[in-house]
Chain A
Amino acid sequence: MKNKYDVVIIGSGIIGSLTARYLSRYNLSVLVVEKEIDVGMCPSSANSAIIHAGYDPKPGTMKAEMNAKGNRIWHSLAPELGIVFEKTGSLVVATSEDDVSKLKQLQEQAAANNIPGVEILDKEQLKTREPLINPEAVAALWAPTAAVLDPFGAVLAAAENAVANGVTYLFETEFTDFIIDSGRITGIRTTKGDFICRRVINAAGLYADEVTRKAGARIDFSITPRKGSYLIFDPMKITLKNVIFPVPSEMGKGILASTTTHGNVLIGPNNEACDGKNDTATGEDGLMEVFNGAKRLIPSLDLKNVIAQYCGVRAKGNGTGDFIVEKASEVQGLINLLGIESPGFASAPAIALRVIELLKESGEKLEEKPDWNPVRKPFPHFHRMSNVERKKLIAKNPAYGRIVCRCEEITEGEILDAIHSPVPARTYDGIKRRTWMGTGRCQGAFDYPRVIAILSRELGIPAEEVTKKGKGSELVYRGTKECAQ
């Protein structure tokens, strides 16, 4: 295994992967180390899936700057990387006159942050835009540049494009320490050995505080994880046209309702204390808080139509709560990206480009590769195709004719694409996140046995080694008595 790189990125979430993707443009050898078995397993795949317009952060902060820039970049980046991106716009809904004055404050903030097109809608305009809205709503702030995307799909697209341009990803590789020589980082230690490098980019998200402390930098910075739960609804039962927020409070943007790029209504998140950074357990109280919160926006939501629930963890930093995007001053060769909570996803491309600037300022001579390909073509998605396209696709490869996931109509061809992609899926959840297999009404009850068989065959491992999300999450443990004989 190669153990010498120019740049090592710690973490393969949206920040790490987009940084890798933008860095792949230059003549540098880049390594991404990830402790999990796949990209974006932490907050990057469990969030609200919204590219916020940018009226929310306080003007003059790093958050405000990165959000506004990031939103603009996403509009051109998403098509370049083949990411499904719905330009829905967003609404902040007021249910009292007191709320209306808050909308006006937000509108002023939008102007200060340079967010285009933000206006206040009256009751009638709101009702037309979102027929299911609470009839008690009196007005709303309309932000046309807000958008919705598939967050895991976005991380994957960035990672695939980075790999296609020469970046190396190592999974199940946990950072343990820096190698520092005379105040300068010369490498990192990991559970898979040491890697020599000139620059390290700390994109470790929830764990970024622990990483920077190992370098003796920002030792007073700490992350207090906060949980947010979500509920997902059956798309055959309800859909919404917009992203809908309540009026924000001290605690944040509040419990929102939106429709994912797959057509499911999503509600959440609440804001709960965590029992550790990997505590993604949902609780009945939290889920009911989410439901009751969203019901204030959309009264017709019905618990009966919930088809999935999950919980994400925010990387909430201490201090001012603003993003920290900087060259570490205590040690040379480290770029810290700290406290990247919401609107982190919206800000990610701007943060990644800022990292490039910081590298240049550090003296890195970034030469562009003549053959850099910024375009990543998405894999076929059978469910979204017309019958004519489906016919052609199956004719080309019959594996697209075998539907493995009945609710989402995911074909064996798509599963094979996921397993053999530049950033390959090696687990059940890896396929699920890439293809949306098993995310529908039956939640995988139908596909489980089929996918165990496919993963076993394609990876050349026995069924007993097929996992849901990496070692320790095996799905079956032995053959039956008859099979064992």
Chain B
Amino acid sequence: MNTTYDVVVVGAGPAGLAAAIEAKKTGAGDVLIIERNDEPGGILPQCIHNGFGSVIFKKDLPGPAYAYNFIEEAKTLGIEIVLDTMVLNITPDKKITAANSRDGFLEFEAGAIILAMGCRERTRANIRVPGDRPAGVFTAGTVQRLVNIEGLMPGKNFVILGSGDIGMIMARRLTLEGANVLKVVELMPCLTGLRRNYVQCLQDFNIPLSLSTTIKRIIGKKRVEAVETVKVDESLNPISGTQETIACDSLLLSVGLIPENELSKKAGVILDPLTGGPAVDENMATNINGIYAAGNVVTIYDLVDYVSKAGMIAGTNAALYTMGKSSSPKYYRLIPGDGVRSVVPQRINTSNIALKSSSTEILIELRVLHEFDSKVFIDIMDGDKVLYSHMEKYARPAEMITLRVDTSKLAGATGDLTVVVSSK
């Protein structure tokens, strides 16, 4: 291991692997990935279900197979991956400290850094489920790791709170492993995960889903003995008299993901309060020169393929930065307007959209604020002028919308741009 690298990537998940590979291919010299797990791939090795790779590989792959493709390519390209190693600090001048039990305390200097730490799960405390504090309350991803990696079953009778994707996938997985999944309850009046997961994981296994329902209380001194559910009204307030006690030994929480940005903050990276991740431009550059970010650390994606794509963009541009091929840019902001909850990137390099002749595609990821049942238009506006318009058959907060925008479409922009969604 060296002490200086052209590019250091934090995290060997799908974003980090793709970023390191593209950085190397673009011409960066030494590239290092630092990974806290004891194997590369991020969350993918424990995602043994299929549904990965439709965009990048045009195949329906399980998580480990999707990761394997990238891991092998990284090896072939001579990218160093240091495993079981925790990054402790990143400074704005791109010095990194880390530790592991093999090499001890590590210090690196990087030409460019790519933040690819991913996300963590929201916990019981985040949503303040009251009651006792027994064993048997787990986040869905932790159970996924226990079952699929450690080979351990954490319970027999499960109730799942939240209709997030990992929760629904675990409902099926636990059922296949012989556990009873008694019910999935969801606070919102609609699914928060993908519809296909509802069909394949709940419907196909006859697992009931109760919408507009939450857990009011956890009961059990040592181990979970029961949970008390309650219906909620339109303003999400409990409706009295609708309580139901369900005997179970485990409560699984699938109540959302939060980008993990403690290191980003230490490095002085500015976060977007709407996404919880770094505010980036279309090259995935943060506000700190030479620090890039990609994947779920930036915003929570639905599909891993787009996480990898974001990683590739970050990798390419981090490499160009170290090769002195990036200038300090001028930006127009990309602002979430009517109907839009969040948008990534948060700003666009004006030089990329200045020329009508240039034709590069940029990816714009957005989430809507509420459900649109019928046809919607997503417009990018420069004041009153529509520069780009895209139609979707419907839009749901749970499903990320990816726009592939040809930059020539944005040529002639005169200032900050607004993204709006409307059913017209």
> What residues of chain A have their CB less than 8 Å away from a CB belonging to chain B?
232, 236, 278, 280-284, 286-287, 303, 306-310, 387, 390-391, 394-395, 398-403, 406-407, 409, 411-412, 428, 441-446, 448-449, 452-453, 463, 467-483
Q: Which of B93-101, B278-286, B288-296, B309-317 contacts A (4 or more CB under 8 A)?
A: B93-101
Distance in Å from the Cβ of B402 to the closest Cβ of chain A?
A: 28
**Which residues of B128-187 are within 8 A (CB) of A?**
128, 130-136, 138-139, 141-142, 145-147, 149-156, 177-178
Q: Does B406 contact A (CB under 8 A)?
A: no
Give the residue name and chain of the A residue nearest to B216 (CB): A284
- State in angstroms the CA–CA spacing of A398 and B154 once bound together: 31
Look across to chain A and name the residue whose beta carbon is closest to the beta carbon of B104: A394
Contact residues of B between 393 and 413, Cβ < 8 Å to A: none
Q: Which residues of B contact A471 (CB under 8 A)?
A: 222
Q: Would you give the shortest CB distance from B272 to chain A, in whole angstroms?
A: 15
Contacts of B136 in A (CB 8 A): 475
Are the C-beta atoms of B88 and A409 separated by less than 8 Å?
yes
The answer to whether B126 touches A281 (Cβ under 8 A) is no
A453 to B150: give the CA distance in the assembly, Å.
9
Known: A282-B130, A445-B123, A473-B134. A409 touches B152 (CB 8 A): no
A477-B155, A480-B152 known; A445 and B134 CB under 8 Å?
Answer: no
Q: Determine whether B1 belongs to the interface, using a CB cutoff of 8 Å to chain A.
A: no
In the bound complex, residues from chain A placing their C-beta under 8 Å from that of B154 are 475-477
Chain A residue contacts of B132, Cβ below 8 A: 280-281
Given A309-B128, A403-B36, A472-B222, the answer on whether A398 and B101 have CB atoms closer than 8 Å is yes
CA distance A473 to B121 in the complex (A): 23
Tell me, yes or no, whether B333 is within 8 Å of chain A by CB.
no
Chain B: minimal CB distance from A426 (Å): 14
Q: In the docked arrangement, what's the CA distance between A443 and B124, Å?
A: 8
Q: Chain A interface secondary structure, helix, strand, loop or mixed?
A: mixed
Interface residues on chain B, size class: 35 or more
CB distance from B53 to the nearest CB of A (A): 24
CB distance from A394 to the nearest CB of B (A): 4
Q: A190 CA to B390 CA in the complex, in Å? A: 75
Expressed in whole angstroms, the Cα–Cα distance for A428 and B135 within the complex equals: 10
Given known pairs A443-B125, A481-B177, the reply for A401 and B142 (CB within 8 Å) is no
Q: Which 5 A-B pairs have the closest CB atoms?
A: A483-B151, A472-B222, A468-B135, A403-B86, A473-B222
Shortest C-beta distance, A36 to chain B (Å), equals 11
- The residue of chain B having its C-beta at the shortest distance from the C-beta of A405 within the complex is B86
- 212-251 of chain B: CB within 8 A of chain A: 216-219, 221-223
Q: Is the CB of A449 within 8 A of B124?
A: no
Nearest chain A CB to B224 CB, angstrom units: 10
- Select the residue from A286, A407, A480 with max chain B CB neighbours within 10 A: A480
B151 touches A480 (CB 8 A): yes
Residues of A close to B218: CB separation below 8 A:
281
Q: Establish whether residues A281 and B104, one from each chain, have CB atoms under 8 Å apart when the complex forms.
A: no
B114-127 Cβ-contact flags toward A at 8 Å (1 or 0): 00000011011110
Within the complex, the shortest CB–CB distance from A9 to chain B, in Å, comes to 25
B150 close to A449 (CB less than 8 A): yes
A406 partner residues in chain B, CB cutoff 8 A: 36, 86
* Cβ-defined contact, B121 with A281, below 8 A: no
Contacts known (A394-B104, A398-B104, A481-B177); A278 close to B221, Cβ less than 8 A: yes
Check if A445 sits within 8 Å of B135, measured CB to CB: no
Question: Do A474 and B217 touch across chains, with their CB atoms under 8 A apart?
Answer: no
- Closest A residue by C-beta to B99: A401
A465 CA / B138 CA spacing, docked (Å): 18
Beta-carbon contact of A480 and B147 below 8 Å: yes
**Once the chains bind, are B135 and A467 in contact (CB under 8 Å)?**
yes
Residues of chain B contacted by A428 (CB below 8 angstroms)? 135
B223 in complex: contacting residue of A284, A409, A473, A479, CB < 8 Å: A473
Do B146 and A445 touch across chains, with their CB atoms under 8 A apart?
Answer: no
22 A-B residue pairs with CB within 8 Å: A283-B217, A306-B128, A307-B125, A309-B130, A387-B97, A390-B99, A390-B105, A394-B104, A401-B100, A441-B262, A444-B142, A446-B120, A448-B138, A452-B150, A468-B135, A469-B222, A472-B222, A475-B135, A476-B146, A478-B152, A480-B153, A482-B151
Docked pose: A85 CA to B102 CA in angstroms: 34
Q: Does B265 contact A (CB under 8 A)?
A: yes
Q: Nearest-CB distance from A160 to chain B (Å)?
A: 25
B84 within 8 A of A: yes
A63 to B139 alpha-carbon distance, docked (Å): 44
Residues of A within 8 A of B135 (CB): 428, 467-469, 473-475
Asked whether, in the complex, the Cβ of B123 is within 8 Å of the Cβ of A401, the reply is no
Contact B133 A280 (CB under 8 A): yes
The interface bits of chain B over 27-58 (1 if a CB of A lies within 8 angstroms of the residue's CB, else 0) are 00000000010000000000000000000000
| Also in contact, A463 and B104, with CB within 8 A (given A280-B132, A473-B134, A481-B177) | no
Q: Within 8 Å CB of B133, what residues of A?
A: 280, 310
